[in-house]
Amino acid sequence: MTPFWALRVDASEAKLQEITLKELSEGDVVIDVHYSGVNYKDALAVSGKGKILKHFPLNAGIDACGVVKQSSDPRFKLGQEVMVSGCGIGETCDGGFSEVLRVSANSVVPLPEGLSLREAMILGTAGFTAALALIRMQQNGQTPEHGPVLVTGASGGVGSFAIQILKQNRYEVWAVSGKPQAGDYLRTLGANRVLAPKDLGHGHRPLEKALYGGVIDNVGGELLSQALAHVALWGNVASIGMALGPELNATVMPFILRGVSLLGTSSNNCPIELRHKIWQLLAKDWKPPHLEKTVARTIGLKDLPAACKDLLQRHIQGRILVEVRA
């Protein structure tokens, strides 16, 4: 069996190792991985934080795309370009920080026409989740007429794509970022206003002045708790992440007096039909116009530990793309 390189994580460290197919998790499709990307969850997994990996050793990486090398499932042919995002890879089974990935055919999505392998992984779970959030909001009646949508954690991966996708869909976008230097970047992506958290002027009462038509929230904690009280009638808040914290200290007032909805956004277990639909949208009508501008860094497998540290220390603006076969 030909050995290949993978970033293998055990209980104490993440190490680049040569392994073979027999060491990989079971599955019916084997993929030669070309690209992956670094998500917040990957950074936690590689840095040994947050109990992301459910057992050891495991290859990290919740995203991968490449070319089918073997398949016992008739839906996939040798040489076909495919991608996997979430579905437990890099958490419960081996993930995309590896030159070879073996997965269940049910997690594999054919690369949609309109996206290259590289573009698919610039987007990765971050782009997918931003699109899922807007779909959830629109299914619940969100329109541009509700007013501006606040995007928190705006300079991160999900935030960068949320801004672009909202803008393409005619929403006014207000981006909130803790990075003072991110203003030009966020305006280039389409933000109408860029605010520092301290400039939001949020109050602490159960209902405050309506400022936002909706919110796409990547940070949780106090920022989400306070933003809820500032959402206008029948607006939607998509909860995606907890970069600031998992707590939610809010009252029911926005829900029962303004018809505000708090919507869960979970990419990992998104139903497969919706998964296909979102990737089709991202390849065509919702393809973010500034994909390349969101790439902060392109790295190889060996650079992952340092890059993950930088992401967690909030030094990254946009996405880290992994060229797995560099």
Ligand X SMILES: NC(=O)c1ccc[n+]([C@@H]2O[C@H](COP(=O)([O-])OP(=O)(O)OC[C@H]3O[C@@H](n4cnc5c(N)ncnc54)[C@H](OP(=O)(O)O)[C@@H]3O)[C@@H](O)[C@H]2O)c1
Binding site for ligand X (CB under 6 A): 39-41, 125-126, 129, 153-159, 177-179, 182, 218-219, 240-244, 265-268, 311, 314
In whole angstroms, the minimum distance from the beta carbon of 174 to ligand X comes to 13
Within 10 angstroms of residue 161's Cβ, the number of other Cβ atoms is 32
What is the C-alpha separation between 269 and 283, in angstroms, rounded? 21
What number of other Cβ atoms are within 10 A of residue 185's Cβ? 23
> At its nearest, how many Å lie between ligand X and the CB of residue 77?
30
- Rounded CA-CA distance 228/206 in Å is 9
Q: How far is the CB of 124 from ligand X (least distance, A)?
A: 8
DSSP code for 107: G
Inter-residue contact 176 to 151 (CB < 8 Å) = yes
The minimum distance between CB 46 and ligand X, in angstroms, equals: 13
Nearer to ligand X, 196 or 252 (CB): 196
Phi, psi for 34 (deg, rounded to 5): -100, -45
CA distance 322 to 319: 10
We find the least distance from the C-beta atom of residue 108 to ligand X, in angstroms, to be 19
Q: How far is Cα 81 from Cα 118, in angstroms, rounded to an integer?
A: 11
Instruction: Name the 3-class secondary structure at 240.
Output: coil
Three-state DSSP at 189 gives: helix
* Sheet of strand 261-264, all strands in order from the earlier edge strand to the far edge: 193-195, 173-176, 149-152, 212-217, 231-239, 261-264
Nearest-approach distance from CB 97 to ligand X, in angstroms: 15
Closest CB to ligand X among residues 107, 265: 265
Q: Which residue, 8 or 319, has its beta carbon nearer to ligand X?
A: 319
| Smallest separation (angstroms) from ligand X to the CB of 69 | 27
Stated as kind and residue range, the H or E segment containing 123 is helix 117-139
Give the phi and the psi of residue 105 in degrees, each rounded to 5: -60, -25
> Which CB, 107 or 155, lies closer to ligand X?
155
H or E element in which residue 306 lies: helix 304-312
In whole angstroms, the minimum distance from the beta carbon of 33 to ligand X comes to 19
First to last CA, the chain: 21
